[in-house]
Amino acid sequence: MNTFGQYFRVTTFGESHGPAVGAVIDGCPPGLELSAEDIQAELDLRKPGQSQLTSPRNEPDRVEILSGVFEGRTLGTSIALIIFNRDMRPYDYSKIKELYRPGHADFTYQEKYGRRDYRGGGRSSGRETAARVAAGAVARKLLAVKGIQVVSFARMIGGIWLEEPEPRVGGTPGMAGNPGEVARQVAALRSRIYGSKVRCPHMKTAAAMAKAIQAAGEEKDSVGGIVEVQAYGVPAGLGDPVSGKIDARIAQAVLSLGAVKGIEFGAGFRLAGMRGSEANDRFGVGAAGQVLPETNRAGGMAGGISTGLPIICRAAVKPTASIGKTQKTVDAAGKPLDLTIEGRHDPCIVIRIVPVIEHMLNLVLLDLYLAQAAIQGWAYQS
Amino acid sequence: MNTFGQYFRVTTFGESHGPAVGAVIDGCPPGLELSAEDIQAELDLRKPGQSQLTSPRNEPDRVEILSGVFEGRTLGTSIALIIFNRDMRPYDYSKIKELYRPGHADFTYQEKYGRRDYRGGGRSSGRETAARVAAGAVARKLLAVKGIQVVSFARMIGGIWLEEPEPRVGGTPGMAGNPGEVARQVAALRSRIYGSKVRCPHMKTAAAMAKAIQAAGEEKDSVGGIVEVQAYGVPAGLGDPVSGKIDARIAQAVLSLGAVKGIEFGAGFRLAGMRGSEANDRFGVGAAGQVLPETNRAGGMAGGISTGLPIICRAAVKPTASIGKTQKTVDAAGKPLDLTIEGRHDPCIVIRIVPVIEHMLNLVLLDLYLAQAAIQGWAYQS
Amino acid sequence: MNTFGQYFRVTTFGESHGPAVGAVIDGCPPGLELSAEDIQAELDLRKPGQSQLTSPRNEPDRVEILSGVFEGRTLGTSIALIIFNRDMRPYDYSKIKELYRPGHADFTYQEKYGRRDYRGGGRSSGRETAARVAAGAVARKLLAVKGIQVVSFARMIGGIWLEEPEPRVGGTPGMAGNPGEVARQVAALRSRIYGSKVRCPHMKTAAAMAKAIQAAGEEKDSVGGIVEVQAYGVPAGLGDPVSGKIDARIAQAVLSLGAVKGIEFGAGFRLAGMRGSEANDRFGVGAAGQVLPETNRAGGMAGGISTGLPIICRAAVKPTASIGKTQKTVDAAGKPLDLTIEGRHDPCIVIRIVPVIEHMLNLVLLDLYLAQAAIQGWAYQS
Amino acid sequence: MNTFGQYFRVTTFGESHGPAVGAVIDGCPPGLELSAEDIQAELDLRKPGQSQLTSPRNEPDRVEILSGVFEGRTLGTSIALIIFNRDMRPYDYSKIKELYRPGHADFTYQEKYGRRDYRGGGRSSGRETAARVAAGAVARKLLAVKGIQVVSFARMIGGIWLEEPEPRVGGTPGMAGNPGEVARQVAALRSRIYGSKVRCPHMKTAAAMAKAIQAAGEEKDSVGGIVEVQAYGVPAGLGDPVSGKIDARIAQAVLSLGAVKGIEFGAGFRLAGMRGSEANDRFGVGAAGQVLPETNRAGGMAGGISTGLPIICRAAVKPTASIGKTQKTVDAAGKPLDLTIEGRHDPCIVIRIVPVIEHMLNLVLLDLYLAQAAIQGWAYQS
């Protein structure tokens, strides 16, 4: 299964060192203004080589739109997005052909398929996520029309935490009523985040994170971290009860990233230690007189359906598996060996996962929005 | 969406206080011996009223098989399972008709659908999970044929932790080679778990957990906890790369339970704080001479595909939302009020979620097993 | 796969001689007034024993709603419909256990699954369609709200044709503008159809058809025929290009009935013999000044999307396979034998398929309507 | 929905005059030898400009494989196939921008999406089927491994019929036992078919068909016809009962071609006029002593599941909608006008649909084969 979504369906393809990666979007509503530049801007946020803290692989990651857009607007037909791979150096991959790198999917692909593309991870490479970001950029434009804004950032890297409550958009919960103001604040927050090399909006914390990454890098090692993603302007009612709960859908999307090993919503694992009287979000009255939860320990949802408060979610990202440090392992025949991985790797993959997680949320939220639009577009009147 | 799975598809129906809950299974392989008793045994593990620590609602939860089984074996056609609701007391639900209980889905269902079944949670009630357990019991029987065994238990309740490494089945990782022994050990572990009122296999810890629940119950409050689930005998190769990763699929299934607010695999959130050299599972040689990971920080998977080691996963369960303690909230019109929820509720829902999570894993693992069977049944030979 | 539809998903279950048949509907919009009686009225149109021309099996086919409806309206949650089987006579099916009846699915079920329910066809029995009619009755109520009306009838039975153009609802094509009048005319047509024992609205033709059936029945043989289905008030724009074309979707639904062996739209097979200048529907101007096709050789669609003209479709129904006449065949071991099928069978299954096809159209059209509602509910404004 | 299949999923993209058309295949088993040349050979069978009887548009239709193949074999990951459009002449499409061509989907796309790509049909163009053929070529290679061979041809063009029983492969029904011989005979038949300009294997009939096309072309008109497709070596047991019947799935696939207006299986519409005693396929004993149907009026299936006999199916193809002859119609504003369509069109689209239908069958049969492989790969043993 290389497809995400039910209404806004995104199918990706491409191996790390094959000719191209790309995505086909099926179910995009017609009439949206869309250009390659719209998508490029988002792709540029995850591309390698942006600072000394990321992989020096030099991929321009230029996206082309092959179908589904005519005279600058979407047609409603399937949209094909393609990114040709450029910087495929003649690295000698025969070295890793016969062994399984610790922490990588070499072994499991081999077990599953009986063969694999051993050049740089093949299909399991993080490079595949470029296609997701391209599709997410389209979802982002559609959500913006409805006043929905997603933003993500590094909450922790290498043990350095950005303390809560920062950052929060808007003064009060449930501020969905003012989409223009939300959009403005999110744009400001995003420029602080992407202005930081480590994708953390708080300068001092960001500097400490960068130091932690450098320290690991100097020891040819890597660090992990926690990415937080927040969604503003999400109306109440998104998510399907039972199997399509909003948190279930987000969890599937975010854990479909190879480096993510855990996810939590709202107060998350801390809720497990609370009492009910403490954990429950009690109801109050919002600025516009509407009933809504006064607190948001649940992270913007109840029973798997959005409440109208911001969606809050955090993902645990493991440290980059590819490290220069020598590791003990065995080859495919079981012979012990000392492995030293060469090549161009990110000492902290969190930095580049930040925009990817944001776009996975965009994909899920748009899909659920369209599902609800089918019910509301129907709107049985009696 | 009330359907789980792609090959072994389970569609559930039923409201808490309607005539019945049930499930239709589509895609069950033919030829499996199956009786209502097989399913009943699993349902009995989650039914209410089993001790003073759970809701006294008196539901026998008798399951009937309406189709898909003939002469004691599955036909390959759709299997309908039904559980008629019995103990629907004439409780006066009109009290909660006009308000939204904190921590419940009343508000979000109303926002989504413009109406709701306000009797005891309706579709959002935990009672819906009885149907999942019934379907999971069928999956469990099928998995057992292939040597796959799932078991879950309370890792933490009310702040009381069962310390690792207990419990673990088998002496060494990758012991998939001896399915009979795995089955025997899992059966023994399960009887310790379900012999405990709190579903914790360690007696002393279980007693402390029970005490924490009682303490909360006496204050008309509730506690949450952490459920761990382990799967043994899972062959390498299950899970689809990209969108159908084994962790992504499990996360969706487990977060589709209303009370679950987070999930992690293997060392989970702790991995975020590790260095790569520490986090990577290096490869070694198993008892049978086969190559496999020597450690299992990743929880039995790499790149979203199973490695052959045990699957390890933990879920954060929030405290029961329904508490007797008076809570401040507002009614549907926004008028402040003091809410005291009456009725028969569980002071700690963790106890009854333990078997449900186990069966959600059964559903996911069987689905992925069948997906892989399609590839292997094909097995292109050159 | 026992599921129809993508938005309005219907999963059926049940064998001919098992405890029950039924359906679970997932994706029904909330707020529809719905009672068991609404569904019963449609079920009564296909139940056996209505005249000497149909099987005397005495099934009251009483439907019960087990979930998804509260206080007389749909909740938006899954709706379970169940029909318990009653008249399961102690017929000695052991006779057919060891052989494959000509024209039946006994052989293929055995080949596919390695076993089968040999009592009266099991899952392959026409009885399964009762569940589809029950679900279709819900779709029909929803479509009526949007002014869409489906009607079907016997166009040919046993070589006796109802000549065109009769029947047609409305004076002019594209009369979607007056839903009340369409509903009135369709209701009148339906009562003529179901007032006829052979489901043909033209009395004299109906009498000739009945005679043909009786003639075959007297020879312990059976006849087939052609069912036509027409849908009025379908707005332009339903159907997805490429794989979800409206004709492709209808064809799948109608050919999912075991006795149907062919389908055509508009002038159908006759179009294959025409020239382009004759076959093309040219555009003109409707009563309300709107552009629309002037002729309807294409049967209400172009490029797989509805045009706003009536959908016209015809299905070829083979004669009932179960006949009393002695047939030469072999048993499961290959030994030649003379087979005489006893039991209660329909000499002409066309009669009972008429309402089933109507409801298959209801299911497809509602599904496509909801798909389009998602796009239109979204309605990107620029 | 631009996706076909559930196990072997094919998603297509591309407009007639956009940069490219293509397909992404998800679910292809690993290990298949596959090159662009394998696909090119099939694409060449449908490309335009092969004789004076087809459109002179000069498209080389060169396919490239962008992913999913490594070292000459499939990886199991998604396969992207792309065909860049070349011959996009600066035809002045502004003429048809403001009107709807009779028999085309211009009107319905406009109604559905509120906009359309008016250059040569855009997404509704037959050019989209090049992507299906490319994917079907992969399916064909996989099926050949299992001894399944599909072949299609013109049964009728412009009123000229190829009389039955020709052509038939093999001497007796159920000759699945000798796959090598079936493959040889099908290859011979295919070369006779594709050696004919009109895709009819009988030379004299082919000449008459060509004459009928020329006659229509000289009058700037077009003709339709009937395509027959046959599948050999299909094992018993393919097809899912109820919604996934083999005929239902084939019908959906074949009617997803814009020019197809009807379909029938085996004796098809003629069965509607038969009696049961005549229509039933009675069982006998095959060459290898196995039980199987002696006749094949049902077209290789019973109850929607394959019997092991050849699958026989016929599709009605309407005449090409684009004709040079002047047609009366109205423009988008309703003003009457005389339309004369210029450009490069096929006077008989049947010729180019022949290979497309063959490949739609390949896609369906492979999908059902994999579904059955999941059940059989599971193969519960008791």
pLDDT score recorded for residue C379? 59
Cβ proximity of A280 and B102 under 8 Å: yes
**What does the pLDDT average to over A53-60?**
75
Using the beta-carbon criterion (under 8 Å), do C109 and D305 form an inter-chain contact? yes
DSSP A239: S
**What does the pLDDT average to over C4-22?**
95
Considering only CB atoms, which residues of chain D are within 8 Å of chain B?
7, 29-33, 73, 76-78, 142, 145, 241-242, 369-371, 373-382
Q: How far apart are CA D173 and CA B205, in angstroms?
A: 70
- 3-state DSSP call for residue B278? helix
pLDDT digits (tens, 9 = 90+) for A1-15: 899 999 999 999 999
Is the pLDDT at C381 greater than 60? The verdict is: no
Choose the weakest-confidence range: C2-11, C301-310, D56-65. D56-65
Q: How far apart are CA C3 and CA B363, in angstroms?
A: 19
Other C-beta atoms closer than 10 Å to the C-beta of B326 total 13
Q: How far apart are CA D26 and CA A27, in angstroms?
A: 18
Is the pLDDT at B50 greater than 90? The verdict is: no
Is the pLDDT at B88 greater than 70? The verdict is: no
What ranges in C222-300 are assigned the alpha helix state H?
246-255, 276-279
| Contacting residues of C for A241, CB less than 8 Å apart | 77
**What does the pLDDT average to over B121-150?**
95
pLDDT score recorded for residue D168? 80
| Contacting residues of D for B381, CB less than 8 Å apart | 31, 145
Burial B271-293 (b: 16+ CB within 10 A, else e): bbbbbbbebbbbbbbbeeeebbb
Cβ proximity of C136 and C362 under 8 Å: yes
Angstrom CA distances, B147 to B140, B150, B175, B189, stand at: 10, 10, 11, 16
pLDDT score recorded for residue C4? 97
ipTM above 0.90, yes or no: yes
C155 pLDDT band, cuts 50/70/90, is very high
Chain B partners (3+ C-beta pairs within 8 A): A, C, D
**Closest chain D residue by Cα to residue B29:** D375
**What does the pLDDT average to over C44-70?**
85
**What does the pLDDT average to over C344-359?**
93
Element (H, E) at B264: strand B260-265
Cβ proximity of A130 and A352 under 8 Å: no
Per DSSP bridges, beta strands B260-265 and B311-317 are antiparallel
- Lookup: tokens for D343: 């450009």
Angstrom CA distances, B175 to A102, B280, B290, B311, D187, stand at: 20, 20, 11, 12, 50
* High-pLDDT (> 70) share of chain C, %: 94
| Contacting residues of A for B113, CB less than 8 Å apart | 375
Q: How far apart are CA B30 and CA B79, in angstroms?
A: 11
Integer Rg of chain A from CA: 21
Q: How far apart are CA C43 and CA B15, in angstroms?
A: 25
Q: How far apart are CA B24 and CA B9, in angstroms?
A: 8
Q: How far apart are CA A36 and CA B156, in angstroms?
A: 50
Is the pLDDT at B305 greater than 90? The verdict is: yes
| Contacting residues of B for C75, CB less than 8 Å apart | 15, 113, 115-117, 122-123
**Closest chain B residue by Cα to residue C10:** B11
DSSP D359: H
**What does the pLDDT average to over C259-287?**
95
The mean predicted confidence, pLDDT, of chain D is: 91
pLDDT score recorded for residue C181? 87
pTM, 2 dp: 0.96
pLDDT digits (tens, 9 = 90+) for D273-317: 999 999 999 999 887 788 889 999 999 999 999 999 999 999 999
pLDDT score recorded for residue A382? 41
- Please list the residues that pair with C69 across neighbouring strands: C74
pLDDT digits (tens, 9 = 90+) for A259-285: 999 999 999 999 999 999 999 999 999
Distinct helix (H) and strand (E) counts, chain D: 9, 18
Other C-beta atoms closer than 10 Å to the C-beta of C49 total 15
Cβ proximity of D190 and D196 under 8 Å: no
B214 pLDDT band, cuts 50/70/90, is very high
**What does the pLDDT average to over A302-320?**
96
Angstrom CA distances, B231 to A79, B175, B192, stand at: 40, 12, 17
* High-pLDDT (> 90) share of chain A, %: 74
Of D31, D76, D78, the CB nearest to A13: D78
**Nearest chain D CA: its distance from C269 CA (Å):** 5
pLDDT digits (tens, 9 = 90+) for C311-335: 999 999 999 999 999 998 888 888 9
pLDDT score recorded for residue C58? 72
Using the beta-carbon criterion (under 8 Å), do C29 and A77 form an inter-chain contact? no
A378 pLDDT band, cuts 50/70/90, is low
Q: How far apart are CA D305 and CA B31, in angstroms?
A: 19
DSSP D33: B
DSSP D303: T
| Contacting residues of A for D70, CB less than 8 Å apart | 15, 18, 115-117, 122
Q: How far apart are CA B230 and CA B149, in angstroms?
A: 8
DSSP line for D184-206: HHHHHHHHHHHHSTTS-SSHHHH
Q: How far apart are CA A343 and CA A357, in angstroms?
A: 25
Choose the weakest-confidence range: C162-176, D12-26, D36-50, D341-355. C162-176
Q: Is the bond preceding residue B165 a cis peptide, omega within 30 degrees? A: yes
Q: Residue C294: which region, alpha, beta or left (left: phi > 0; alpha: psi -120 to 50)? A: alpha
B382 pLDDT band, cuts 50/70/90, is very low
Is the pLDDT at C25 greater than 80? The verdict is: yes
pLDDT digits (tens, 9 = 90+) for A165-216: 788 887 554 545 577 888 999 999 999 999 999 999 999 999 999 999 999 9
Q: Is B332 exposed, middle or buried (0-12, 13-18, 19+ CB in 10 A)?
A: middle
Element (H, E) at B372: helix B350-378
Cβ proximity of D291 and C335 under 8 Å: no
Element (H, E) at A284: strand A283-285
Q: Decide which of A217 and A120 is more confident.
A: A217
| Contacting residues of C for D306, CB less than 8 Å apart | 108
Of C18, C68, C75, the CB nearest to B116: C75
Using the beta-carbon criterion (under 8 Å), do B13 and C21 form an inter-chain contact? no
pLDDT score recorded for residue D91? 63
**What does the pLDDT average to over D23-38?**
96
- 3-state DSSP call for residue C101? coil
**What does the pLDDT average to over D174-201?**
87
- CA C229 to chain CA centroid, Å, is 8
Q: Is B41 exposed, middle or buried (0-12, 13-18, 19+ CB in 10 A)?
A: exposed
Top residue of A368, A369, A380, A382 to mutate, by most chain C CBs within 10 Å, is A380
Q: Is A121 exposed, middle or buried (0-12, 13-18, 19+ CB in 10 A)?
A: buried
Q: How far apart are CA C57 and CA A374, in angstroms?
A: 41
**What does the pLDDT average to over D209-222?**
96
- 3-state DSSP call for residue A98? coil
Q: Which residues contact C335 (CB under 8 A, 6 or more apart)?
A: none
**What does the pLDDT average to over D5-16?**
96
Burial C333-351 (b: 16+ CB within 10 A, else e): eeeeeebebeebbbbbbbb
Q: How far apart are CA B301 and CA B288, in angstroms?
A: 20
Q: Is the bond preceding residue D165 a cis peptide, omega within 30 degrees? A: yes
pLDDT score recorded for residue A124? 92
C382 pLDDT band, cuts 50/70/90, is very low
Choose the weakest-confidence range: A14-23, B78-87, C337-346, D59-68. C337-346
| Contacting residues of C for A376, CB less than 8 Å apart | 377
Cβ proximity of C12 and B78 under 8 Å: yes
pLDDT score recorded for residue A381? 43
**What does the pLDDT average to over B173-197?**
84
**Nearest chain D CA: its distance from A5 CA (Å):** 12
pLDDT digits (tens, 9 = 90+) for A75-117: 999 999 999 998 666 566 777 788 889 999 999 999 999 989 9
Q: Which residues contact D228 (CB under 8 A, 6 or more apart)?
A: D152, D153, D154, D155, D312, D313, D314, D315
Q: Which residues contact D178 (CB under 8 A, 6 or more apart)?
A: none
Using the beta-carbon criterion (under 8 Å), do D70 and A9 form an inter-chain contact? no
Burial D353-379 (b: 16+ CB within 10 A, else e): bbbbbbbbbbbbbbbbbbbbbbbbbbe
